[in-house]
Structure 1
Amino acid sequence: MSRSGQPPDLKNRLRPLWHDVFQLAFTYKLHLCYFSHCCTYCFICITVKLNANRMVVGTLRGFDQFMNLVIDNTVEVNGNENNDIGMVVIRGNSVVTVEALEPIARPQ
């Protein structure tokens, strides 16, 4: 709650975060697939199981050598409840498993 007793307007507060996600990605040299056509595994729908029995589903947009993930259109799954959380950067040490929800073509 704010000082006026009204809940904060989260949409206006989250818009600048889009810029911060890209700034964070470039700072830590994440492999963002918006700017690279060589990524075979990006733009696929994945399920990521995180520590503490958390799970998110979304579209993989980028990654780095530490398995930090950039996921777009992310939905947090809590039993029967789904929470749409948009674009997220997930730190690699909290990732337990990554599962592709669609077939991946093998490069030849």
Structure 2
Amino acid sequence: MWGKENHIVEHFQKVKLNANRTVVGTLRGFDQFMNLVIDNTVEVNGEEKNDIGMVVIRGNSVVTVEALEPVSRGQ
């Protein structure tokens, strides 16, 4: 089941992946295995940026997830 109730969904995130890869985009959902759905995704490699659209990232590839905008914990 994809998580949508969490307060971090629909916010801009930076996701570090294994093999020194980094993507940024809007988190649309996740599941219990930390598989992520990210929209408006940009792969960042140093100064080079590559727009890759909507992606599903397997949880075993995720190293860290960092919010790039303030996240409210309110209802």
TM > 0.5 between the two?
yes
Q: What's the TM-score once normalised by structure 1's chain length? A: 0.65
- Check if 1:56 corresponds to 2:23: yes
Please report how far the alpha carbon of residue 105 of structure 1 lies from its aligned counterpart in structure 2 after TM superposition. 1.2
Unmatched segments (≥5 aa) in structure 2: none
**RMSD after superposition:** 1.3
Q: What's the TM-score, normalizing by structure 2?
A: 0.92
> What is the identity percentage for the equivalent residue pairs of Structure 1 and Structure 2?
73
Query: What's the CA shift for 1:30?
Result: 2.6
In structure 1, what is the Cα distance between the partners aligned to 2:57 and 2:27? 11
In structure 2, give the amino acid aligned to 1:89.
Answer: V
2:63 alignment counterpart? 96
Distance (whole Å) between structure 2 residues aligned to residue 75 and residue 105 of structure 1:
24
TM-superposed CA distance for 1:41, in Å, is 1.5
* Higher helix proportion (structure 1 or 2): 1
Highest CA radius of gyration, 1 or 2?
A: 1
More strand by share: 2
| Matched residue type, 2:60 | N
**Could you give the per-residue CA deviations for residues 45-103 of structure 1, whole angstroms, max 9, x where no partner exists?**
00000000000000000000110000000000011100000000000000000000011
The runs of 4+ residues in structure 1 deviating greater than 6 Å are none
Question: For 2:72 and 2:11, how far apart are their aligned partners in 1?
Answer: 11
Higher relative CO (Cα under 8 Å, sequence separation at least 6) belongs to 2
